[in-house]
Amino acid sequence: MNTELEIMNAISLTVSTTNSRQIPNINIGGSWLPDMGFIDGALVQGLPEQNGMDIRLCDANIKSYRELYRVTEEQNGSLFQASSYTQKGTTYPKMNVCGKFIFNCGLTFDDPVIAKYTYGLVQVRKVPDTVSIVGSVAHNQTGEMLPVIRINDKWLAECGFVMDAPITAKVEPDCISITLHENDIEKYNELVKYARANKQRLLQVRRYRRKGNPYIELDSTLLEKAGFYIGDIFNVTYTYGLICLNKLQYADFGF
């Protein structure tokens, strides 16, 4: 699942490599970092947790850096600094977590993770690759941030969800079911009647960007009716002609 969006209080990430030496790396970036206290140069302590890590902002009034280092080492943790990078004249905040510490946290290359943050704390936990986060998009007129889900995975076409295919979305509490229908213009009126009679939303598979994969977009009206809000996490299951989105709880993954 790929949202490509910065989310309120949570982001989706992947354990990657820094270079050909195969060093594990998690690159955490976003305009929210300074607001959470992680300013450029801030000292940060990372400690292993089950299936992930907790990254804490260190107190500015540390009495003994040697003691902090000792305690961190004893817990198989790591000390590092928040930083920034400049691109085309604009400075962006970031935190790079890398090296053996990531392995100490039970993570490895290509693991999908979710980072949930509050002031002074970023919690990173491993999740299945079918788990993602409800994204956000600004309203065209008011600028209000609204929930959105865009499904643009490669398996869409393999499951029959090709460009322009008609689909219906059935909404239930904490669940959305998307069903593929026959792309036959002569039967379209029947499909409209079916959707209305069953209180379902009639949608269409679109093209992702100009020359991309097919994608499905679920807007705020549909999502909020099912109880999906910005920053919520959900699981996706799919088979030919059917996609199911089920809302999850952060506590399920140790947050």
Question: Is the pLDDT reported for residue 210 higher than 80?
Answer: no
How much is the pLDDT for 134?
A: 95
Q: Are 52 and 19 in a shared domain?
A: yes
pLDDT tens digit sequence for 90-112: 999 999 999 999 999 999 999 99
pLDDT tens digit sequence for 45-65: 999 999 999 999 998 778 889
Q: Are 197 and 116 in a shared domain?
A: no
Q: Are 20 and 48 in a shared domain?
A: yes
CA 121 – CA 85 distance, rounded (Å):
21
In a domain, residue 115? The reply is: yes
In a domain, residue 122? The reply is: yes
Last residue of a domain, one of 103, 126, 149: 126
Share of the chain above pLDDT 90, in %: 78
In a domain, residue 1? The reply is: no
CA 3 – CA 136 distance, rounded (Å):
9
Task: List the structure tokens of 186.
Answer: 């002569």
Q: Are 163 and 64 in a shared domain?
A: no
CA 130 – CA 2 distance, rounded (Å):
10
In a domain, residue 225? The reply is: yes
Q: Are 104 and 151 in a shared domain?
A: no
Q: Are 191 and 108 in a shared domain?
A: no
The residue among 91, 119, 92, 79 whose CA lies nearest residue 27 is 92
CA dihedral 180, 209, 26, 82 (to 10 degrees): -130
Number of domains in the chain: 2
pLDDT tens digit sequence for 168-192: 999 999 999 999 998 876 788 899 9
Q: Are 97 and 142 in a shared domain?
A: no
DSSP calls for 189-253: HHHHHHHHHTT-EEEE-EESTTTS-EEEEE-HHHHHHHT--TT-EEEEEEETTEEEEEE--GGGG
Residue 29 sits in a domain of what CATH number? 3.40.1550
In a domain, residue 214? The reply is: yes
CA dihedral 233, 237, 242, 246 (to 10 degrees): -30
- Residue 76 is part of which domain span? 10-126
Question: Is the pLDDT reported for residue 125 higher than 70?
Answer: yes
Last residue of a domain, one of 90, 106, 126: 126
Q: Are 27 and 106 in a shared domain?
A: yes
Q: Are 138 and 113 in a shared domain?
A: no
Question: Is the pLDDT reported for residue 219 higher than 70?
Answer: yes
Last residue of a domain, one of 73, 92, 126: 126
Q: Are 139 and 76 in a shared domain?
A: no
The average pLDDT across 201-230 equals: 91
Q: Of residues 144 and 19, which shows the higher confidence score?
A: 144
**Environment class of 63 (CB within 10 Å of its CB; exposed 0-12, middle 13-18, buried 19+):** exposed
In a domain, residue 217? The reply is: yes
Helix (H) or strand (E) holding 156: helix 155-158
pLDDT tens digit sequence for 70-84: 999 999 999 999 999
Q: Are 141 and 84 in a shared domain?
A: no
Question: Is the pLDDT reported for residue 7 higher than 50?
Answer: no
The average pLDDT across 157-164 equals: 94
Amino acid at 150: R
How much is the pLDDT for 8?
A: 52
Average pLDDT, the chain: 91
Q: Are 51 and 80 in a shared domain?
A: yes
